[in-house]
A and B are shown apart, each in its own frame.
Chain A
Amino acid sequence: GAVVSQHPSWVICKSGTSVKIECRSLDFQATTMFWYRQFPKQSLMLMATSNEGSKATYEQGVEKDKFLINHASLTLSTLTVTSAHPEDSSFYICSARGTGTGVSPLHFGNGTRLTVT
């Protein structure tokens, strides 16, 4: 089945630094990728939707200058958390949807646990 690889699986960084998270579709072309944030014991909150070659669409309340999303190719999207602060610590999950599909489920990466100290 379709595989989405997310890297790194965990990262610890100091406050004020930036962190980049990669999301790759390994065996299909992902026209649309989604970035979610999950707080402990809570559901997934959609942060943004990105389409290859165009600007990401951010959900209300998500700072686009803080969470930079780049979807430069059909197999790669990146999320950069800029000037990270402890409140940005969370579990970030990407998902991807392929081309040529009708009603299809999204394929999820395994998530990245970010801890900002």
Chain B
Amino acid sequence: GNSVTQMEGPVTLSEEAFLTINCTYTATGYPSLFWYVQYPGEGLQLLLKATKADDKGSNKGFEATYRKETTSFHLEKGSVQVSDSAVYFCALFRAGNMLTFGGGTRLMVKP
């Protein structure tokens, strides 16, 4: 079946540090891949997506590239801010309208 594995958190960084959150997946065929962000006490917001191999999704300084050869979709940001503190979920989308989520990675950015 489909699965998504994320690095465990929390990830604690100082402001302006470089961020990488690893995400790998297992799926048949060609899933679409997403990163969602959840701020404290809120639901999920779509951060970025990629629908095919070698696509790069980007938004708000965050980037992730769909790597089929390594079945990965790692999230990166060059310079994090305190306001980026949240939980980040990697997810894949396949037929049946269902999202499969990773376990989430909590990011804490200190000033």
Residues of B within 8 A of A113 (CB): 41
Q: Is the CB of B102 within 8 A of A43?
A: yes
Secondary structure at the A interface, as helix, strand, loop or mixed, is: strand
Give 1 or 0 for each of B24-44: 1 = CB within 8 Å of chain A CB. Answer: 000000001010100001111
Interface size bracket, A side: 20 to 34
Are B97 and A111 in contact, CB atoms less than 8 angstroms apart? no
- Majority secondary structure of chain B interface residues (helix, strand, loop or mixed): strand
A34 to B43, CA, bound (A): 13
> Do B43 and A110 touch across chains, with their CB atoms under 8 A apart?
yes
Q: Which residues of B contact A105 (CB under 8 A)?
A: 34, 46, 49, 93, 99
A-B contacts besides A42-B103, A103-B32, A105-B34, 11 pairs, CB < 8 Å: A4-B43, A43-B89, A43-B102, A44-B44, A44-B101, A49-B98, A93-B43, A95-B44, A97-B97, A105-B49, A108-B36
